[in-house]
Structure 1
Amino acid sequence: MKLKYDLYISYLKIALSAIGIYAIPVAVFTLTSCGGGSGKSYDEAKDTPAGTYREYLSELRTQDRLSFEGLTARLGQWQTVRDSVSAHIRRDTLWRSHTDMRKECLLLHDSIRMEFSRLALSRPRTYKEVLALKEHFSPYAEDGELHRSAQEIQPFFASLDSRMAYRGGKEQLLSAYRTLLSETQRKGIHGHSDLTRFIGKEDALFRAFLARLNDYDDMDLSDITRDTEKCCAEVFRAAERQEITYKEAMLYMAMRTNRRVIQNVQACLDGIHRGEVTTPRQAHAFIWMILQPYASLDGFCLALLSPREKEVLDRMATETPGAFSTLRKILSSENDRLEELPGMLIEIHIATL
């Protein structure tokens, strides 16, 4: 899961760089599409793993401007084909000696992925479609036990909305935030009550922080980020000590992530609506934060969303193009392709399937 997330973030940074949002030096090397490099005729090879891939690739190349539903269906077919090829390979005791065919399958696999990249970008896409695609292909989408466990925990997170956010000035808030993180590291997490107490107190501080986001625009808060990560690590140390279960740790921390991402995006959208973003630096930062649901929420997190959270994310996805149109006026970049980002995000996710 961590490897896929890192890959996703790397691809996203490349995509943002391409449209002038996030500049990083990067070289991208890709393999060109593979034809029948083995020298065998199609009829001879179609019952082999490579032949199966070649047949699917040939048919896929006839497609263009697929609707979202069509793209999703084709991706589902590809997973079936891929599973069939994998099963064939596992049954073939001589597979390891078929080096040329193995190389051909790898090249064909890359070619199929490149075709899906083409199809993802062949027509305008939406942010709602990005979320729908990630949720559809989540390996946890049909996990009934996971959904029931999430439903049992959701009332706790819903109750946080009725708790008052931290009240205090700019410096007081940062001091209180740092104190909570320091004490949590010192005392550790030693049970369910410690876990929920930390999440509740942190949530009150985080909401207060988001309410005055621009006050901290020029401040170095890397210590808070670093110490927050250490506190999260304490949760999993508690699981290692069997003071809470690993399942409990995973569920609570993933649902905490969902809540924070949604809160963060809402704060950004509200700030844009109020005209609080005035510099290119702020605009770049807000674009990056608004993209977090599509970058940081993996299949596990998406499977844990409550119906209300899904509604909120869908609404935010609908509002995002308008928010980016406002930020576009601040960026004044000639290489502005923000409208292409949903397609790029879908392309990136396909690369992780």
Structure 2
Amino acid sequence: MLTACSDGNGTKSFHSSDEAIREYHGFLTTLRQNGKVSIQTLVKIVNEWRVLDDSVTSCISRDTVRKAHSYPFTVYHELNDSIHIELCRMAMSKQRTFHDLLYLREQTSSHVGDEELQQAVKEAQPFFASLDSLPIYNKGGKQAVLKRYLLFLQKSAKQGIHGKEDLLAFIKEEHLYFKSFLQYLPDFADDDIGDIRRNTEHCCREILRAADRKDLSHKDAMIYLSMRTNHRLLRNAQAAIEDLNSGRVKDEHTMHAYLLMMMQPFMTMDDLSVSVLSDKDKADLYKIADALPKEMDGLAKKLHLDKQRLSDMPMLMMKIYVTRL
């Protein structure tokens, strides 16, 4: 289908904007001939489109003076909108699962093939792998755990982050308190933990401020923050599944919160977050994805929720993801 010349690294080289637009239109025509497609086929199509789209935009930007409301830009944008509509149609053409959603996001991430990013992630992985071996300190019960957690966050927010050593120390100690907090998660259903959330956000802002001051590289700030957030989202979802299966969750309010916790990794992880997942965390996330249908079905019955609407959640998330490509 792609008839233009290749430059050897996957992108296409067009001789003119007319040729690029014809190729883009031909791609759209082919998309419209597709019916129900597998997730593997959808991944292949999205990646082909991204290569073509980069080549087309590069060509028309070189070939013309940039005028947003003139040919070939108007035609390009019309075709691009139509291609997005077709990609969304194909994403919704079959029932999709959270496993499908994760696979699509993993395989079509804009960071695929970024060797510099992967090297930085590889260097950070031993640190994050060590966090799960930290002991749980729950002396004094849930209120003591909550108080220690909050005091740590308040102190960290006040002191700020002044380098990579501070960043690693913060993430390590935070995880120590976070692990203890998770032990009492169902018991905090009726407690106000807004101070924990607000102070955590404050600490994360301090990390970004450190990068702005050049006390910390922006690369380290973004990668370590993303990996830290991934770690927390995964442990939250795993704890939710374990608590539900053990019967620790009794009231409807907590069940609603746990439903959101299990879906949250798939709702909030962005392109960078998915790309910095370690092999182990990726495997854990696929396990969560595979466990979700059963857990959601059980909660749907207890909470009198529409089972079909819950089953459609991965498709809706997939549609949102494809729309934003």
Q: TM-score range by the shorter chain?
A: 0.7 to 0.9
Q: Which moved more, 1:236-245 or 1:294-303?
A: 236-245
Structure 1 residues 98 and 326, CA gap change in structure 2 (3 angstroms): closer
Structure 1 contact 167–208 (Cα < 8 Å) conserved: yes
Q: Which moved more, 1:241-250 or 1:173-182?
A: 241-250
Residue by residue over 1:211-254, the C-alpha shift from the partner in whole angstroms, topping out at 9 and shown as x without a partner, is 21111112222221111111111122222333332222222211
Shift of 1:75: 1.1
Shift of 1:66: 0.3
> Comparing both chains, which one has the higher relative contact order based on Cα–Cα distances under 8 Å and sequence gaps of 6 or more?
1
Shift of 1:335: 6.8
Matched residues in 2 for 1:348 and 1:339: separation?
16
In structure 1, which of residues 64, 67, 70 is the aligned counterpart of residue 38 of structure 2? Answer: 67
Shift of 1:110: 1.7
Matched residues in 1 for 2:262 and 2:68: separation?
49
Map 1:26-175; keep pairs closer than 5 Å: 47=18, 50-93=21-64, 96=67, 99=70, 102-168=73-139, 169-175=141-147
1:143 partner letter: D
Matched residues in 2 for 1:105 and 1:194: separation?
48
Structure 1 contact 64–122 (Cα < 8 Å) conserved: yes
- 2:302 counterpart of 1:330: yes
Shift of 1:264: 0.6
Structure 1 residues 228 and 64, CA gap change in structure 2 (3 angstroms): same
Q: In angstroms, what is the RMSD of aligned CA positions?
A: 2.2
- Could you state the TM-score of these two structures normalised by the residue count of structure 2? 0.87
For residue 266 of structure 1, what is the aligned residue in structure 2?
238
Structure 2's unaligned 5+ residue stretches are 1-16
Shift of 1:172: 0.8
Map 1:183-194; keep pairs closer than 5 Å: 183-194=155-166
Matched residues in 2 for 1:82 and 1:109: separation?
8
Q: Which moved more, 1:174-183 or 1:94-103?
A: 94-103
Q: Which moved more, 1:57-66 or 1:245-254?
A: 245-254
Structure 1 residues 98 and 298, CA gap change in structure 2 (3 angstroms): closer
Residue by residue over 1:71-118, the C-alpha shift from the partner in whole angstroms, topping out at 9 and shown as x without a partner, is 111112222332233123213325628636543432332222111111
Matched residues in 1 for 2:179 and 2:277: separation?
19
Structure 1 residues 305 and 335, CA gap change in structure 2 (3 angstroms): closer
Matched residues in 2 for 1:137 and 1:88: separation?
23
Matched residues in 1 for 2:51 and 2:190: separation?
50
Matched residues in 1 for 2:69 and 2:220: separation?
46
- Could you state the TM-score of these two structures normalised by the residue count of structure 1? 0.81
Residue by residue over 1:31-74, the C-alpha shift from the partner in whole angstroms, topping out at 9 and shown as x without a partner, is xxxxxxxxxxxxxxx94655444332222111111011111111
Residue by residue over 1:112-140, the C-alpha shift from the partner in whole angstroms, topping out at 9 and shown as x without a partner, is 21111111111122212211211212222
Matched residues in 1 for 2:52 and 2:223: separation?
33
Matched residues in 2 for 1:250 and 1:157: separation?
15
Structure 1 contact 49–105 (Cα < 8 Å) conserved: no
Shift of 1:260: 0.5
Matched residues in 1 for 2:190 and 2:53: separation?
49
Shift of 1:179: 0.6
For residue 236 of structure 1, what is the aligned residue in structure 2?
208
Residue by residue over 1:275-307, the C-alpha shift from the partner in whole angstroms, topping out at 9 and shown as x without a partner, is 334444333322221122212222222222221
Q: May I ask how many residue pairs the two structures share in their alignment?
A: 308
2:78 partner letter: L
Structure 1 residues 214 and 64, CA gap change in structure 2 (3 angstroms): same
Q: Helix, strand or coil: the match of 2:204?
A: helix
Structure 1's unaligned 5+ residue stretches are 1-45
Residue by residue over 1:257-282, the C-alpha shift from the partner in whole angstroms, topping out at 9 and shown as x without a partner, is 11101101101111221233444433
Structure 1 residues 202 and 94, CA gap change in structure 2 (3 angstroms): closer
Percent of pairs with identical residues: 36
